[in-house]
Amino acid sequence: MKLASARLVIGHLYPDLLNIYGDRGNVLALRRRAAWRGVGDVEVRAYTVGDVLDFGDVDLICMGGGEDRKQVLAAEDLRTRRDPLEAAVAGGLPVVAVCGSYQLLGAYYQLSDGSRLEGAGIFDAYTVAGQQRLVGNVVVDSPLFGSLVGFENHAGQTFLGPGCDPLGHVVVGGGNNGRDGGEGAVRGFCVGTYMHGSLLPKNPALSDWLLLAALRRRYGEGLDWPALDDAAEERAHAAAVRRAHETARGRA
């Protein structure tokens, strides 16, 4: 199938509440890489609290990070969408959720006062507020994507249950909790991570994995999927890796 006749709908959840440290760049990267490949119709739809959202009508979901107060507002709304989101993820809907939204896709987030913010339960994971923030550049070795780079800034510490695999293992940085060496979570084509930066422009393999999953979910196999010249992205990735290692050596 020629991509010129294809249509792609990217759902951007809570851009007014969860959009810090360049997370909007993930939406821009997906849109641009789809257009570069010749996808004929790429649409981005923003959804916030109270909006009608049919997960069967979107091909890919992006969610970012935000402050605790805004995270509470998003969590309350996201819980009302839990069942249809669960069904969509089980059916192969690609999702990328960064930091605060990653936490909200787990079972719960226990705040510093001991109260619990109930999550959507998409990941077998939970988060507790930590005493120390994990801040800085991150390099992750991922079995799916090789080297991934980003920037983390979070006090929440996320722990995965047996039903959830990490996105990768930390080479530089704190990752999920600064203890077990894991970073992020993967379930099907649903990815959660603490990496801002923004993540997808510097990690084209992850971007393309999400896009291809989205298009195959709508159109099936047999897509015309041309290669892109990722020289600029690879240079940005390599520069971020070098900077992360240099910073880590400087702290040692």
The CA distance from 175 to 195, in Å, is 8
Backbone angles phi, psi at 197, to 5 degrees: 135, -25
Q: Which of 82, 92, 96 is nearest to 12 (CA)?
A: 96
Q: Which of 93, 21, 6 is nearest to 53 (CA)?
A: 93
Are the C-beta atoms of residues 139 and 120 closer than 8 Å to each other? no
Active site residue ranges: 99, 196
Backbone angles phi, psi at 62, to 5 degrees: -120, 135
The CA distance from 249 to 40, in Å, is 46
Helix residue ranges, H only, the chain: 24-36, 68-80, 82-90, 100-104, 204-219, 231-251
Tokens of 159: 């722990």
The CA distance from 13 to 213, in Å, is 19
Our separate counts of H helices and E strands in the chain read 6, 12
Tokens of 4: 């010129």
